[in-house]
A and B are shown apart, each in its own frame.
Chain A
Amino acid sequence: MTAAIIVGLLVAGGVWFLAQPGLLRVILGFVLLGHGVNVLLLASGGLDRRRAPFVGDGAGDPAALADPLPQAFVLTAVVITFGVSVYLLAILRAESVEDPDVSAADDMDETDEPRAGR
């Protein structure tokens, strides 16, 4: 139940951001959606078993160990999401350099950053 609510919150927030103007919000939305899917993946393994999946001597009852497969998925997904977010940020940055309107359109301009671009 809690996992479902968290997924709902993250997805709703992510979609809302995607619907807003500006690439930065899209990136934020993408990160939130990524979180949402990761929680869903984790929940698919079942949250009633929560012992970290380490086996070997003294690991205790294997029936209490969490499902390792979704964790492996989520782990790579986290790193991949990070890579994609970085790439999106790079696009944002390349845009903001090439297109002066992006910054000029708003209330902050280059004067706030006196020594940039010496």
Chain B
Amino acid sequence: MLLALSALTVLAVLAPLLARLGLGRELGYVFAAGFAGVAILIAFHVPQILDGGTVETSMDWLPSLGVSFALRLNGLSSLFALMVLGVGALIMAYCPRYLSSHDPHGAIYGLLTLFAAAMLGLVLAADVVLLFVFWEATTYCSFLLLGLAGGRATRPARRALLITAAGGLALLVAVVLLTVVTGSTAISDILADREVILASPLALPIGALIAFAAFTKSAQVPLHFWLPGAMVAMTPVSAFLHAATMVKAGVYLLMLVSPIFSGVPAWSALLVSIGLTSALWGAFMALRQHDLKAILAHSTVSQLGLLVAAIGVGTPIALAAAMLHTIAHALFKATLFMLVGIIDKEAGSRDIRELSGLWRVMPVTATMTALAGLSMAGIVPMLGFVSKEYLFQGIFQADFAPAAGLVAGSIAVAASALTTAYGLRIVYGAFGGSTHQPGLYEPSPAFLAPAAIAALAGLVLGAGIDLLNPLVARAGADVVPGEPLGAFQFWHGLSPEIVMSVIAFSSGLMLFLRRHQVDRLLDRVVVPDAGAAFDRAHAGLIAFGYRVGQPDRAGGTMSHLVRPLGGVVFLAAVGFVTLRNLPPVRPADTVGDWVVVGLFALGVAAAVVARDTLAAVAALGFVGLLMAALFVTAGAPDVALTLVLVEVLTAVVVVWVLRRLPARLPTGDGPRLPWSVLLALACGLAAASATYALTGRRGPSTASSFFLDNAEAATGGTNVVNTILVDFRAMDTLGEAVVLGAVALGLLALLGSTAADDHTPEPPADADHLSAAASVFLQVSARLVVPGAALVAAYLLYVGHDAPGGGFIAALVAGVAAATHQIAHGRLPRWSRPELLVGSGILVSLGTGLLASAKGEAVLAPFKLPGLDAVGVGSALLFDIGVMLMVLGMLTAALDRFAARTHRPESSRVHP
């Protein structure tokens, strides 16, 4: 089973490669052989299945959620699996003659095979989560295959995707609810919990969601319109996905959950009413069409409706009939699609008003079409006859309401009459009448063979129903546990069903014979267009989204920020009203603190009122240094040190940028000013009150005590802040350092283009701003500062675990060294290659972490290095070196890129 699934997947993945082997169109036969081989793998298990066994296999997938990659082959799944693979093999063998040599063979075969794998996985899945994943996979394969039809497929593909994906979401919710109710994701457990599910208040939503998902996939009214639209796809796709298999996924799902819901009146009522409406509506719409493919598409809606209704009835006969009809439908509908594709290729049209008399030139094609058409119309002796007889018998058993069986049976008969009428219309329209195109000839046997095999199978299996009986009976045992099904009989005497069939056939024949009157009548009927309604709703939704997002498309930051900032103020107001009985504030303020507050007020005010760019930046630098002072007084020397270094480097970077900027800040609009002030004050007040209300009112937190108590014992370091960074929360630190590495790459990408036209080392672009004396002075001092700073950085890195320092700080000191070198010499030191620094930093940090896991510890767990432990070098230092390299990479990237000479095209310079 797993082998079968993997074989198909591998085949799909290999498709683009196989397409280059030079087989051309013949490639399809390779895939047909592959499908047949996989079918044999499955068939190999069938004897065991027929004996009542199941084949199961399971691998852990998400063990923490109890979800496993579990597959099981029972009667129901082998029935569907063999159908998928059998029809698939025929379609694959049909493709070589249908496709032309310039079609994208790799994509077509790859996606078709991938779809088959998804469909196989869907029917084999023994876990509801896995079932959902495969269900979604079929949706996306269908979307991509539709997309191969090009631009005209845009709207149909979008409709199909949105509707079936909505069904997928419904299925996901149902899966989650089922898991919540039963506590298991295994399908066998869920099916065994029928009583629990039905007793829970979630039974109604679960049933409704599952039915909705099935209705979307199996194109039931009023969501059916995506299926006729999907006929823009090429014929093999229509035949395989949109007739024989994918649309049966909904039917499969309904059968799968039948043991839970069958017999529940609401379930029966829903399925029977929707199913029969679809059956009638699809058949009625099919009769209105002239395009052969459109007729077949609406016919599929109709036939699926009959299947859904039969499942809704839920009696053993009805369910078994639905299974049999699923097979019959796959055979005759795939045949008809393949033949329509042949007619389209040969005669150049699919319109029955243009085609006529093809039986004289294409007698074999005509015979095969007639066979499949007879099966569709349910006429003796085809398989479709047997399955329809039993469908009638099953639907007649509907008992969810008084006289339900009678009403349902009558509607089924009416739908069947319409089916006969359009079936005859297909056969007569294309092949009957006078021959308009005498130059046509029979397609090659290889083109015809796949369709012929399916058509003949429909003929043989009618009388040879005993061949199918064991498997259908076994599948029935999965769906209706405990009640053995009677075997189907080809002919079971004069029964009510035969009478129903005769009524259906004769009314259908009448409709066909009087087709001209019927056509005139049908043309007068105005039918609602569900697809257009869907498009309107979709467009309305998009327009609504556009209106919701309108403010975010305005220019300026404020229109984006005003709502979140207003939200902050609102939250603070809510807190102000609701927060009561806060613990008392623990006294913490010193006189020095109040001095700092005053300085802060000065600094912020100076920055705010500054009209001059440099003044504003200087004021901000002052605020930054105040922050450092605050951190020193608050007992955070590492943070203070970091901040001072950051301020220095910011100053360097800003100076490079300011060279290019106007000296004065742009002036604001007058009228907006009061609002900005108001909003700023409100936000400031909100932040201040929140800080006052929510901090400084409790003793040490448990986290704080934990780190203080355990840092030294667990990591060997005494600088607790550093141990948190490199040991306890090393994964966070790694992530943050990688963010800085990404900034480095972003800088190279963003500013790289401005300097891309000369890669030669930059001449000191700004050294020539300096006087010669100043330059010499700088260069001499740089000779002292750079090695000195490098030593300091190395020292800070080394002691970081126990004293102020660490990777971040060391990198910033090294960055200062690099900046000094750059200012003095006009270029960065040789060792500063941003991408190398970032790359090696990631390798070192990650390598250290993975080394720990190689030793059997958790990733990034601390470990000792042999021989080096004595001098205080451990994994923490290695990790910190990596962090330092990444941060340094970002710094050098910034220095390098900001100092790079910008090349402005001469033409764009503005000289007022």
Contacts and interface: CB of A to CB of B under 8 A. Distances in A.
A106 B3 CA distance: 71
B743 A84 contact: yes
Contacts, number: 336
Nearest to A86: B894
B718 A47 contact: no
A25 to B, nearest CB: 6
Interface string A55-84: 110010011011111011011101110111
Contacts of B681: 12
Contacts of A24: 613, 661, 665
Interface string B662-676: 111111110010011
Interface stretch (B25-33, B41-49, B601-609): B601-609
Given A19-B680, A40-B687, A79-B808, A68 B724 contact: yes
A68 B589 CA distance: 19
Contact of A15 (B616, B636, B684, B894): B684
A45 B639 CA distance: 14
Contacts of A115: 768-769
B627 A26 contact: no
A104 B254 CA distance: 69
Given A7-B688, A113-B659, A47 B696 contact: yes
Contacts of A74: 631, 636, 639
Chain B interface bracket (under 10, 10 to 19, 20 to 34, 35 or more)? 35 or more
B270 interface: no
B634 A50 contact: yes
A103 B695 CA distance: 45
B692 A1 contact: yes
B627 A35 contact: yes
Nearest to B743: A83
B704 A15 contact: no
A105 to B, nearest CB: 7
Contact of A52 (B636, B646, B665, B908): B636
Interface stretch (B162-170, B186-194, B347-355, B650-658): B650-658
A79 B736 contact: yes
Chain A interface bracket (under 10, 10 to 19, 20 to 34, 35 or more)? 35 or more
Interface in B335-376: none
A94 B631 CA distance: 34
Interface in A1-42: 1-13, 15-22, 24-26, 28, 31-32, 35-36, 38-40, 42
Indicate the member of B613, B661, B910 with the most A CB atoms within 10 Å: B661
B711 interface: yes
Contact of A65 (B596, B677, B708): B708
A66 B634 contact: yes
A32 B898 contact: no
B712 interface: yes
B650 A82 contact: yes
Contacts of B903: 117
A86 B679 contact: no
Nearest to B768: A115
Interface string B138-165: 0000000000000000000000000000
B510 interface: no
Nearest to B894: A86
B683 interface: yes
Nearest to A74: B639
B516 interface: no
Interface in B69-114: none
B689 A10 contact: no
A58 B669 CA distance: 59
Contact of A43 (B601, B696, B718, B765): B696
Contacts of A92: 657, 661
A6 B630 contact: yes
A48 B732 CA distance: 28
Contacts of A112: 663
B412 interface: no
Contacts of A15: 565, 676, 679-680, 683-684
B588 A21 contact: no
Interface in A80-118: 80, 82-87, 89-94, 96-97, 100-113, 115-117
A10 B520 CA distance: 79
B638 A75 contact: yes
A56 to B, nearest CB: 4
B665 to A, nearest CB: 6
B691 A40 contact: yes
Nearest to A43: B695
Contact of A28 (B617, B686, B694, B711): B617
A79 B646 contact: yes
A100 B695 contact: no
Indicate the member of B676, B687, B803 with the most A CB atoms within 10 Å: B687
A51 B633 CA distance: 9
B12 interface: no
A79 B642 contact: yes
A62 B721 contact: no
B747 interface: yes
Interface stretch (B281-289, B532-540, B554-562, B788-796): B554-562
Nearest to A92: B657
A68 B704 contact: yes
Contacts of A1: 585, 589, 692
A59 to B, nearest CB: 7
A55 B713 CA distance: 10
A75 B642 contact: yes
A89 B694 CA distance: 34
Contacts of A104: 910, 912
Contact of A90 (B635, B687, B747, B887): B747
B662 A117 contact: no
A96 B695 contact: no
A85 B659 CA distance: 17
Given A10-B623, A86-B890, 15 more contacts: A4-B695, A13-B607, A19-B558, A19-B672, A20-B668, A24-B613, A35-B627, A47-B588, A53-B707, A62-B708, A67-B701, A91-B750, A106-B664, A116-B901, A117-B903
- List 3 tightest A-B contacts by C-beta distance, closest first: A12-B684, A8-B688, A19-B676
